[in-house]
Amino acid sequence: MAELGTVLGQQLAPGDAVCLVGPLGAGKTTFTRGLARGLEIRGEVTSPTFVIARRHRGLRVDLLHCDAYRISSPDEFADLDLDTDEAVTVVEWGQSVMAEISDSWLEVAIDRSSSHDEGTRQVTVCGRGDRWTATQLDLLIAAFRRVIS
């Protein structure tokens, strides 16, 4: 999961937003740690579950890592008044709040396999809005496939 995150992180720019979807233990925070490595973030990236949002400083762009699990409405998220324009924003459990952040985002759904191998994950990516064209998604998926091959 971390390697896939790194691939994505290398392609992101300030203002980009990513929504991570998946059950507990699916690998959302692990994916974000890899994404942070791709963004050249300094320091350790930890789950923002109890603080809702953490800003991590990077060499080329900052990472705003959010957890919307305990957010009950998009308005509540908007009240946090997070500056997302100059950072890459990653929101775990963010399905209900992404429209507050951006009119365009990448949704990454991570699901644990029901097979016998607990380390297996199924990852689905979907672009929302103008930022993620079909061509860009195809290139990202091809890069993900190179990592898992």
What value does the CA radius of gyration of the chain take, rounded to a whole number of Å?
Answer: 14
Section 30-53 average pLDDT: 92
d(CA 72, CA 69): 8
Boundaries of every domain in the chain = 2-148
pLDDT at site 124 = 94
d(CA 94, CA 20): 7
pLDDT at site 83 = 87
Question: pLDDT tens digit string along 47-73?
Answer: 887 889 999 999 889 999 999 998 888
What pTM was estimated for this model as a whole?
A: 0.92
Section 136-144 average pLDDT: 94
Question: pLDDT tens digit string along 70-125?
Answer: 888 888 888 888 889 999 999 999 999 999 899 999 999 999 876 656 678 899 99
pLDDT at site 120 = 84
User: Comparing C-alpha atoms, which of 96, 109, 84, 99 is closest to residue 12?
Assistant: 84
Domain 2-148 fold is: Rossmann fold (3.40.50)
pLDDT at site 55 = 94
